[in-house]
A and B are shown apart, each in its own frame.
Chain A
Amino acid sequence: MTKSSKPPKPGLSRRSFLGSSGAVGAAMGLAGSKAQAQDAPELAAQEQRHISLTVNGQRRTLGVEPRTTLVEALRDVLGLTGTKIGCNQGQCGACTVLLDGRRINSCLTLAVTADGADVVTVEGLADPTGNLHPMQQAFAENDAFQCGYCTPGQILSAIACIDEGHAGDAAEIREYMSGNLCRCGAYPNIVAAVEAVRDGQEG
């Protein structure tokens, strides 16, 4: 991977700026944290790396800082805002995407580490003519959401849950969907949607 002296791409949002601010810890004057970083000057913010991702089947190249997370790259650089930021610390699952076929929290994944990887987001699920993926259809038919904020992550996770063979019964679905929180409490209907797709009742 090569360093680039190009200026940062415009369009990094206020959210990503705030989300990546490291000034808090430094301002607290904390000495002796693991890397003893407080004494050193912060690296120039414009130091960008060019990475290549295949996102929903399309090859994309983009410039990111090392600290840019994958969800920030998807939302703020590529404009794919279907993937949501919830807790932003790997607990709620709203940011779930498939990375080389595995479901992961894109808020805990640095975009530079995904260089060369294949990413599937909720935008990549429907077919080109607009027909919904069976899991999307099942979520709609089973009323598996209320506010919808967790839904993209739930759907990606649910697809992976079945692909991994962890949708044997309702208890197993609940266990293997436990990384996706729903504040509206749509869990029974989410389980029903996963069961429907598992049983081939959709699509």
Chain B
Amino acid sequence: MRNFDYHRPTDIAAAIEAARADGAEILAGGTTMVDLMKIGVWEPQALVDITSLSELEGYDVGSDRITFGALARMAEVGDDDALKTAAPVLTESLWKAASPQLRHAARLGGNILQQTRCPYFRDTAYAQCNKRNPGSGCAALDGGETNLHAILGGSDACVAMYPGDFAQALVAFDAEVTTKGPGGARTIPFADLHVLPGDTPHIETILNRGEIVTGITVPVTGALKASHYLKARDRESYAFASASAAVGLDMDGDTVRDARIAIGGVAAVPWRARAAEDSLKGGPLTEETAREAGRIAFADAVPLEGSEYKIKLGADVVAGALMTAHARATGGE
């Protein structure tokens, strides 16, 4: 690992000041940062460790909204019984991610910003990577490994997949992210945080240099209580999603009042499937309508050679997740 300077400010103003410097990066749990520094993908000049900013710790499960500090740990939130009852999709998307050791270290603010697992991005032996080395090309487009690549939202410049789980729950349920930076504090709809790769895949979020994620807010809705995160992967535990779905249903008798669907393991950014949601609203939730919603969610998918399976798998995962959410909405589970 290249050497670097290390700062551990104890107030957020100092953290912002240190983090806005050229070459500085923000460090929290470090499970992505240290990994990528070890393999030479990231080589920051300085790390600004924000874990002493105690005001960013903790979380609150309220009746109108659920709020998380950016430094809340994946493990403590994912294991919370009250949250599991109020918003199962939030706990399930956390405890089904990574390993216990990683969840104890990783913080929510860093989790939502986690990096792609594209093997060509992660291996500096490949000179072609527009994300790592803008303008160099994309080794993944003609690469042999396509399991971890986007079939939705990719571009001619980059097909890296956003690998996170929790972010799918956040985008489906209208979460917001709060930040503080050189320009002051702001609130960002979670759906706007990540940006599509387009011609500039090295630009991944709308965050400015020195801007620190301070928290995440999720409004409490009917669909949040009857929600589910279903994750299909190569092995039963501790693997990235081949396809996943964060869903929720609010039922008015036999009629779907509200439906939420986001799909993971398949897209360049956290991906909300609004057309699929709309196909369900105002009608019944049956296996047939659930499967149709799954098909709609992948209508625009462009698979790579070898990742065609994600379309069927993903549609099945959406349908299966909806059936579980329906059982939860109607007292069947």
Contacts and interface: CB of A to CB of B under 8 A. Distances in A.
Interface of A: 1, 19-22, 24-26, 28, 30-38, 40, 42-45, 47, 49, 65-67, 69, 88-90, 93, 96, 102-105, 108-110, 112-113, 115, 157, 160-161, 164, 166, 174-180
A179 B23 contact: no
A143 to B, nearest CB: 23
B3 A47 contact: yes
A166 B39 CA distance: 33
Given A67-B2, A176-B100, A33 B133 contact: yes
B6 A49 contact: yes
18 contacts: A25-B41, A25-B43, A26-B2, A26-B40, A28-B124, A33-B133, A34-B25, A37-B44, A43-B4, A43-B5, A89-B39, A90-B101, A102-B73, A102-B104, A109-B105, A115-B8, A178-B100, A179-B238
A157 B238 CA distance: 15
B237 interface: yes
Contact of A179 (B4, B27, B41, B99): B99
Nearest to B237: A178
A109 B30 contact: yes
A62 B41 CA distance: 29
Interface in B194-241: 202, 236-238
Most A CB contacts (10 A, CB to CB) among B24, B39, B73, B102 go to B102
A55 B61 CA distance: 35
- Taking residues whose C-beta sits less than 8 angstroms from the other chain, chain B's interface range is 35 or more
B312 interface: no
A180 B97 CA distance: 15
Nearest to A176: B100
A49 B125 CA distance: 32
A47 to B, nearest CB: 7
B5 A66 contact: yes
B166 to A, nearest CB: 17
Interface in B78-107: 79, 98-102, 104-105
Interface secondary structure of A, over-half rule: loop
A88 B38 contact: yes
Contacts of B99: 93, 178-180
B8 A1 contact: yes
Contact of B101 (A35, A89, A93, A112): A93
A175 B132 contact: no
B49 A113 contact: yes
B45 A35 contact: yes
A90 B44 contact: no
B185 interface: no
A116 B132 CA distance: 35
B192 to A, nearest CB: 21
Given A22-B40, A31-B133, A32-B134, A66 B23 contact: no
Contact of A104 (B4, B23, B105): B105
Given A25-B41, A104-B105, A110-B30, A161 B100 contact: yes
